[in-house]
Structure 1
Amino acid sequence: MHLVRVAAAALNQTPLDWDGNQARILEAIRLARRQGVAVLCLPELCIPGYGCEDAFFSRGTILESWRVLQELLPETKGMIVALGLPIMHRAANYNAVCLVADGHIVGLVGKRFLAGDGIHYEPRWFKGWPAGKFVQWEHDGHSYPLGDQIFEVGGLRIGFEICEDAWVPNRPGVELAAQGVDVICNPSASHFAFGKHEVRKQIVLGASRSFGAAYVYSSFIGNEAGRVIYDGECMIAASGHLIAEGPRLGYDDVYLTSAVIDVDLARMIHARRTAGPAVDDNLRRITRFDTQLPVADLPPQEPLPAPAWPDDKREEFSRAVALGLFDYLRKSRSRGFVVSLSGGADSAAVAYLVHLMVTLATQELGVAATCARLGLPEAACTTPRAIVRALLTCVYQSTANSSDTTRNAARAVAEAVGAEFLEFDVDPLVRAYVRTVEGAIGRELGWQGDDIALQNIQARARAPGVWLLANLRGALLLATSNRSEAAVGYATMDGDTCGGLSPIAGIDKAFLRQWLRWVEHEGPAGVGPTPELRAVNVQAPTAELRPAGAHQTDEDDLMPYPILDVIERAAIRDKLAPKEVYRVLASRFPEHGRALLLLWIKRFFRLWSQNQWKRERYAPSFHLDDENLDPKTWCRFPILSGGFAHELAELDAVAGRDG
């Protein structure tokens, strides 16, 4: 019986934060040492941070990463540690993992398959390492084994799949299994998306079963670089069973997940399952390093603890965005948040998510530690509600078209979450702008002919005051637009889109309304309901920019939100032509009739084409799923286009035949 403790660490790193990143790596190594860990897998590019973007082109980034690696070497005495960093070889950059043992560099492996879809842009900065390629890498006056290899350290055979390597059909693990590796480490930077953790889990379990090796999977946690949230999922599997799993979406900087594996048992299982040829060392490069590894004691076999919260999209959304806000606040060095609270669903959701951020952080870290992380004065560190009060200011900005309903709803939400609540009357500003323009053009403006302009000036008049307040307090102004509005440009640029961060721009309105009702009645696990949200949930969504007699609602202006979201997914995610979208809608919503479906489809495509410029100017948003409309990370579309004119003509022809 050969027992070895292996571990994976989740780290909350920040790009180019050399001292901070090094400190968190050291904390993970020291935690692992205290637990008797022999093999520790850290996330890919953990030294510089994954999200360095074009800074990977800087020679300084390469050199600083190597410097930090050298300083970490003495800390690995008596252990094996996998550390991720960029390297340069023959005028090309590679995303590499360096295996360090007992204070020495054993060798490096380059990532073979690069992530280049949407949010990932690795092929811009790195080259994929060629399969089967092995070199002696000359660097800093020394020679190191680099390339397609496995490592035999202290009698333990270790191989690597680096993040994307495990998501492709011809993954390196197949070759590693043929060479009888005992442990496959997967240092990853796998971003959060709804339901993605189940996919990851099946990849890890399947690999441990098929390859006959222990599989150790690590990743980042938190909002590393602004748009991307990492859930920190670390897993260890053996023989198709998950034997250890770390927490997800937590607020600490370092999480260590460890388990004891029986190497002899794994080799016996591998021998029974493998029908191929025996291992031939000549088929694959093996780099050996002699050292003594700590021997583990066999722990009692206990089932994995139940997750702290249910596997539910509403829970994932709540916790991912709350964690994203927490890290964005402290890493941007802002001193709080300002929200223009309209009394409607979107701004209420944003204010609640700030409240939830504080609730979850204090539940895990405690009040004092949360305040310390956020840089708040001691006077604010009495209760979670006091922290919210210190961090969040909500402002209701009324015009002549505002109602008591939205004013009272805004106040109720602010009081429920514990925010400071202010009111601005911006109607004098609106009237002054209107009079100025009327005087310049020589005519009065009226709703009959100037509807959109008169609506927009009200939204824009609200921006300067909240920007001023945010600047005075060193706070971050949060924009409140959602993904459904972004799809059709149903937002006033420099009005309700203004802000330094747009936390709900990645989520559709239909889900957001359903989520708010869930928060009202049930709420996240361990937090409970917020019944005061009823004041928002009973209203029909409205911009409230026309006179009250117009009875304005969003869905009258656009279309029912559930239908808008189906069109968006079909047209943008699935890339269907308008005539194909029509067939989707006709089968799902026949009750609306042909004329309305045609009207809504044409409206969507025309508004989508006209408003790409708005999406280009949105404040950074969080990536929550692979249906994001953010042109900087997922969904690129030309600012100027033909506007689907030909395709919409085809739609009329098809709908005419169907009719």
Structure 2
Amino acid sequence: MSFVTVAAASLPSVPLDFEGNRDRILESIRIAKEKGARLRTGPELEIPGYGCLDHHLEGDTFLHSWEVLAEIISDPVCKDMLIDLGLGVRHRNVRYNCRVLCTYRQIFFIRPKQSLANDGLYREMRHFTAWAKPRTVEDYYLEQIIKDVTGQKKVPIGDAILSTEDTAVGCETCEELFTPRYVSKASTILGSEPTWTACYYSPRSMSLPPTGAFRTWRGEIILNSSASHAELRKLRTRLDLISNSTRKLGGVYCYSNASGVDGEARMMYDASSMVLINGKVMAQSSQFTLKPVDVITATIDIEEVRSFRSSISRNVQAAAQPEFPRIECDIRLSRPADDFYFSDLKPSRQIELKILDPMEEMYMAEAVYLWQYLTRANAGGYFLALSGGLDSCSVATFVFGMARLVLESINAGEKTTLDDLRRVTGEPEFTPKTPQEILGRLLHTCYMGTKNSSTDTRSRAQRLAQKIGAYHSDTNIDETVDAMESIVDQALNFKPKYQVEGGSVAENLAKQNIQARNRMVYSYALAQLSTTSRGLPRAGSSLLLLRGYLTKYDASSGDLAPLGSISKSDAKSFLGWAGEKWDLPILKEFLGAIPTAELLPLSAGVQSDEEEMGLSYDQLSAFGKLRKVEKLGPWSAYLRLLGDWKDLPPRETAELTKRFFRFYAMNRHKATTITPSIHLSAYNPDDNRHDLRPFLYKIWWPYQFSKIDKHVKSLEERSEQEKKH
């Protein structure tokens, strides 16, 4: 028997925080070593931070990364450990996203990433080049600062396996787990390692795991260093890919993922690092956590891999594969059975994968996002215009969830969380007993009423703020609105009227937007002065939180948008879940309320947002997913919905389709001013980053709409003919 203890670290990916990243990496190595591990892997690009974006183009980023790596491997904690670190490397004037496998004062091998993420939120090809030479290694001439530490002049770089004294270690990096590979006929049939000649796709290849692991399964231990973002209901896909790979081909898979908010405040890395052997999960870290360093370990018997692989029908094909380059490493990772018997280590046992309920997943993601944003920005708190509607209620509930998680972390003994709370509040002795105590200092809500506001929304806002402990203001902005309209009158000699009072559509819209945009100006003033006016120990500007339904330069102009890509249906489900779990029965009132901006006179009656838009929120979600996620234009979306919405007449489906795409084209420019928002679904409103289609269209889509109209007419004519017969 040959027991190996491996460790996977989940660390925040903080761009350019070289000192902080170094300290967290060293702490993770210390923890791993204390737990008996001799191999430690960490997240992708963990030294500079994955989310450096165009800083990856700067020479300083590479220089400082090597300086930090030199400091790490100079620390005696690295003795007798195989350490896997991530940083950018320039080789022959080409930038590569690399893994450095090293130990105390020695580098064994540099392994570049071979498949780059370049879709959705990712732009890796802008910053790096994929290694394009399979089964090839070259000489990398080391920087002087590394030479001074290691005494080495050069090390291998490329596609290879690391051979220790007792096993073999291979690497994948994030996207390689998800990227399909060409596979040979032999490997398609029996799951052996593919050759790189006469390769093709065949239907049977789909039964095998579509990962880069094919090329590294000569290694018995596979390391995957990742920076994979969170999406609701996505984690199962990732975990299934890993477990299925090891179940089919055998091996130990040590997966390490980043945690926390990225540098753009758009993505959340959701950790869930894990260790598997032959398809069985042996260890898994939390999906979301406030811990700055989270390390899991597993102790496994390498003989299990050898026995598993020798018992499956792959041996003839595996024996026929050409040799894979190997780099020699003079470290022994395993402990013999006798030594293992006298250690404190125990063999790890199989565990069940932990997949959070989507509502709990939303709660944890939002809580970590809001807390890390606040502490990194070093702001005085959050400010939210609480309208009494569902969107602002959802945001307030997210902040309450943040306070709950902060309190839970403090009660669990996490000193970093308590230190951050005391720093942000300016109270060095503050130790909260309830989440309400935290929000009384960190959240200022304000109801900004006008003559068009109802008593229902005012009451709901006030009672919700009281229940969650927020500092609340109840104000009226009619004077500001009247003053603005007076200035408009001076300039134009014209007083706009609502439609209900005889005004035009343009006048009606202008009067509504004057209210909305004045709320934005007022919100910023209150956010900047809130902590000072209340005499809090640490006076500083609060961050302005946004709601959902928005006017350009109203709710689109805050500091961050917690609702982000969360759909209306998911937001409603979350409020129902939180109301029950957190004893907040008032949330039911928000779920039952009609969504309305309350910008029209009460004499006009209550007009819901859906009535104003001419589309329900469910219909909007359907169109949004078809347009953005499935990349369908007006014609294809119409055809899809003919089948999905068979209860509607074709003409009504066509009119809804044309209405959506017409207003999408008219309002596309609003996406240029969208506030950074958390990405929790593939349907993301942040078009500056996630969707690079144009902002200027012919809004009537003449060719596409004409094609739809002709199709509707033909369907109606056919329907009439069938009725006659």
TM-score normalised by length of structure 1: 0.94
Q: Tell me which residue corresponds to 2:52.
A: 52
2:134 equivalent to 1:134: no
Kindly report which structure 2 residues correspond to 1:153-552, keeping only aligned pairs within 5 A, or say none: 153-170=164-181, 171-177=211-217, 179=218, 181-225=219-263, 226-273=265-312, 274-277=314-317, 283-293=323-333, 295=335, 296=340, 299=346, 302-304=349-351, 307=354, 311-366=356-411, 369-374=416-421, 375=423, 376=425, 377-378=427-428, 380-383=430-433, 384-447=435-498, 448-449=503-504, 450-472=507-529, 473=531, 474-482=540-548, 485=549, 491-520=550-579, 522-523=580-581, 528-550=582-604, 551-552=606-607
| Corresponding residue SS for 1:30 | helix
The runs of 4+ residues in structure 1 deviating greater than 6 Å are: none
* 1:281 positional shift: 10
Contact persistence 2:28–2:294 (CA under 8 A): yes
C-alpha RMSD of the superposition? 2.0
The answer to whether the 8 Å contact 1:251/1:365 transfers is no
CA distance in 1, matches of 2:230, 2:365: 8
Give the whole-Å Cα distance in 1 for the aligned partners of 2:601 and 2:229: 45
SS of the aligned residue for 2:326 comes to strand
Structure 1 letter corresponding to 2:483: A
* Corresponding position: 1:78 with 2:85: no
The CA deviation at 1:476 is: 4.0
Measured after TM superposition, the shift of residue 511 of structure 1 is: 2.4
Structure 2 match to 1:556:
611
Give how far 1:592 is off.
Answer: 4.8
DSSP-derived class of the 1:518 partner:
helix
Query: 2:204 is matched with which residue?
Result: none
Amino acid at match of 1:213: G
> How much does 1:656 deviate?
2.1
CA contact (8 A) 1:173 1:211 kept: no
Deviations 1:363-382 (CA, angstroms, capped at 9, x unpaired):
13338753422322146433
CA distance, structure 2, for counterparts of residue 211 and residue 302 of structure 1 = 20
Deviation at 1:346, TM superposition (A): 0.7
**Residue pair 1:380, 1:386 contacting (<8 A) in 2 also:** no
Query: Does structure 1 conserve the Cα–Cα contact (< 8 Å) formed by 2:446 and 2:474?
Result: yes
Distance 2:448 2:648 in 1: 37
Q: What CA distance in whole angstroms lies between the structure 1 residues aligned with 2:103 and 2:163?
A: 11
CA distance 1:605–1:245, shift in 2 (3 Å): same
Deviation (angstroms), 1:115: 0.3
Tell me, yes or no, if structure 1 residue 571 matches structure 2 residue 627: yes
Q: 1:380 to 1:392 in 2, by over 3 A?
A: farther
Matches of 2:353 and 2:224, distance apart in 1 = 24
Residue by residue over 1:147-205, the C-alpha shift from the partner in whole angstroms, topping out at 9 and shown as x without a partner, is 1111012322100011111111224421222x3x1100001111111222111111111
Q: CA deviation at 1:244?
A: 1.1
Equivalents in 2 of 1:514, 1:195: separation in Å?
Answer: 14
Pairing partner for 2:638 from 541, 557, 582? 582
Give the Å deviation of 1:462. 0.7
Task: Quote the Cα distance in structure 1 between the aligned partners of 2:170 and 2:54.
Answer: 29
Please state how far the C-alpha of 1:541 moved relative to its aligned partner: 0.3
**Contact 2:524/2:544, CA 8 A, preserved across alignment:** no
SS of the residue corresponding to residue 621 of structure 2 reads helix
1:633 to 689, 699, 704: 689
For 2:358 and 2:245, locate their aligned partners in 1 and report how far apart those are by CA, in whole Å.
26
**Which letter does structure 2 place at the counterpart of 1:480?**
L
The answer on whether the counterparts of 2:96 and 2:129 sit within 8 Å (CA) in structure 1 is yes
Query: Which residue of the partner structure matches residue 109 of structure 1?
Result: 111
CA distance in structure 2 between the partners assigned to 1:414 and 1:276 by the alignment? 69
Change (3 A) 1:62 1:556: same
Alpha-carbon distance change, 276 to 530 in structure 1, aligned in 2, over 3 angstroms: farther
Q: One-letter code of the match for 2:475?
A: F
Q: Does 1:120 align with 2:167?
A: no
Task: Tell which deviates more after alignment, 76-85 or 622-631.
Answer: 622-631
Aligned-residue offset at 1:648: 1.7
Q: Which of 1 and 2 has greater Rg?
A: 2
SS at match of 2:627: helix
Deviations 1:188-243 (CA, angstroms, capped at 9, x unpaired): 11111122211111111122223321000001111132111011111111111111
Shift of the alpha carbon at 1:587?
Answer: 3.6
Task: After superposing the two structures, state which structure 1 stretch, 129-138 or 165-174, moved more.
Answer: 165-174
- CA 1:657–1:379 in structure 2 vs 1: closer, same or farther (change >3 Å)? farther
What is the Cα deviation at residue 529 of structure 1?
A: 3.5
Q: Deviations over 1:441-461 (max 9, x none)?
A: 122211121111011010011
Question: C-alpha separation between the residues in 2 aligned to 1:624 and 1:601?
Answer: 26
Cα pair 1:204 1:235 within 8 Å, conserved: no
Q: 2: distance between equivalents of 1:260 and 1:650?
A: 63
1:488 paired residue number: none
Q: Give how far 1:262 is off.
A: 0.7
Aligned-pair CA distance for 1:503: 1.2
- 8 Å CA contact retained: 2:258, 2:269: yes
Q: Is the contact made by 2:565 and 2:679 (CA closer than 8 Å) also made in structure 1?
A: yes
Displacement of 1:563 in angstroms is 1.3
Secondary structure at 2:483 match in 1:
helix
Question: What amino acid is aligned across from residue 142 of structure 2 in structure 1?
Answer: H
**How far apart are 1:271 and its partner, in Å?**
2.1
Task: Report the AA paired with residue 145 of structure 1.
Answer: P
Question: Aligned residues: percent identity?
Answer: 30
1:589 and 1:269 map into 2 onto residues whose CA distance is 50
CA distance 1:95–1:306, change in 2 (3 Å): closer
